[in-house]
Amino acid sequence: MNNVQRVAGLIQERNRIDAALSSCIRRPALPGHLGDWIAAQVFGIELEQHAAKGVDGRFADGRTVNIRWYLKRDNLLDLREDGPDRYLVLTGPKVAADVRPMVVDAVYLFDAASVVAELRARGLKIGVASSVRAHLWEAAEIYPRHNPAFPLDDEQRELLALFSHRP
What's the pLDDT at 4? Answer: 95
The residues facing 66 across adjacent strands are 87
Cis previous bond, 148, omega within 30: no
Is the pLDDT at 161 greater than 90, yes or no?
yes
Confidence label for 34 from pLDDT (cuts 50, 70 and 90) = very high
Q: How many residues does the chain have?
A: 167
Confidence label for 165 from pLDDT (cuts 50, 70 and 90) = confident
Q: Is residue 10 part of a domain?
A: no
Q: Is 44 left (phi over 0), alpha (psi -120 to 50) or beta?
A: left
What's the pLDDT at 40? Answer: 97
What's the pLDDT at 98? Answer: 75
Is the pLDDT at 167 greater than 60, yes or no?
no
What's the pLDDT at 99? Answer: 76
Interval 39-97: pLDDT, tens? 999 999 999 987 667 899 999 999 999 999 999 889 999 998 888 999 999 999 887 66
- The strand order across the sheet containing 141-143 reads 46-52, 55-58, 64-70, 86-91, 106-111, 141-143
Q: Is residue 19 part of a domain?
A: no
Domain housing 107: 30-161
Q: Is residue 46 part of a domain?
A: yes
Q: Is residue 8 part of a domain?
A: no
Position 112, amino acid = A
Q: Is residue 1 part of a domain?
A: no
Interval 96-155: pLDDT, tens? 667 788 999 999 999 999 999 999 999 888 999 999 999 999 999 999 999 999 999 999
Question: What is the total count of domains within the chain?
Answer: 1
**pTM for this entry:** 0.92
Q: How far apart are CA 37 and CA 42, in angstroms?
A: 9
Is the pLDDT at 12 greater than 80, yes or no?
yes
Q: Is residue 166 part of a domain?
A: no
What's the pLDDT at 159? Answer: 97
Q: Is residue 80 part of a domain?
A: yes
Q: Is residue 18 part of a domain?
A: no
CATH classification of the domain holding 60: 3.40.210
More confident residue, 50 or 22: 22
List the beta strands (DSSP E) in 78-143: 86-91, 106-111, 130-131, 141-143
Q: How far apart are CA 138 and CA 151, in angstroms?
A: 15
Q: How far apart are CA 63 and CA 86, in angstroms?
A: 7
3-state secondary structure of 96: coil
